[in-house]
Structure 1
Amino acid sequence: MSNPTFRDKALLVVICVLVSIIVATGAGILTHLTGASLAESILSAGGAFAVSMGLSLTTLSALGLV
């Protein structure tokens, strides 16, 4: 397999960002449904985004794609 081009790498990072946004939205909604305040829900969503983004970029890096 050939090395990914800059365009391919950028697309992979954009996909990681979008997936992380979906995960963060789900975490925020689920946290809010438990009765947490809006601020707690936003903090939970932010944490979920950070963890998801970190895991996805680490995985891409380990695979040599980014």
Structure 2
Amino acid sequence: MKTTPTFGVKVLLVVICALVSSIVATGAGILTHTTGASLPEAILSAGGAFAISMTLGLTTLAVLGLG
């Protein structure tokens, strides 16, 4: 018996992916800035980390049939 998640559950899963991606981006930005990079470089690094982790999270949800 296979059940599909409701719209509300799907929204919550996307929000969880966004929050986890924000944590990853914050860590990447802090680590980049502590290595001596300038603030704009750290922000760009954090943005890239957010985009990659959000893409991986949403792709994982889609493969599992939850998205």
TM range (shorter): over 0.9
- Give the equivalent residue in structure 2 for 1:22: 23
Q: CA deviation at 1:34?
A: 0.0
Q: Which ranges of structure 2 fall in alignment gaps of 5 or more residues?
A: none
Distance 2:32 2:46 in 1: 8
Alignment of 1:9 onto 2:10: yes
TM-score (norm 2): 0.97
Distance 1:3 1:60 in 2: 12
- Give the equivalent residue in structure 2 for 1:65: 66
Percent of aligned positions with the same letter in both sequences? 74
CA RMSD of aligned residues (A): 0.5
Q: CA deviation at 1:2?
A: 1.4
Q: Which ranges of structure 1 fall in alignment gaps of 5 or more residues?
A: none
Deviations 1:6-63 (A, max 9, x none): 0000000000000000000000000000000000000000000000000000000000
- Give the equivalent residue in structure 2 for 1:47: 48
Shift >6 Å, 4+ stretches: none
TM-score (norm 1): 0.98
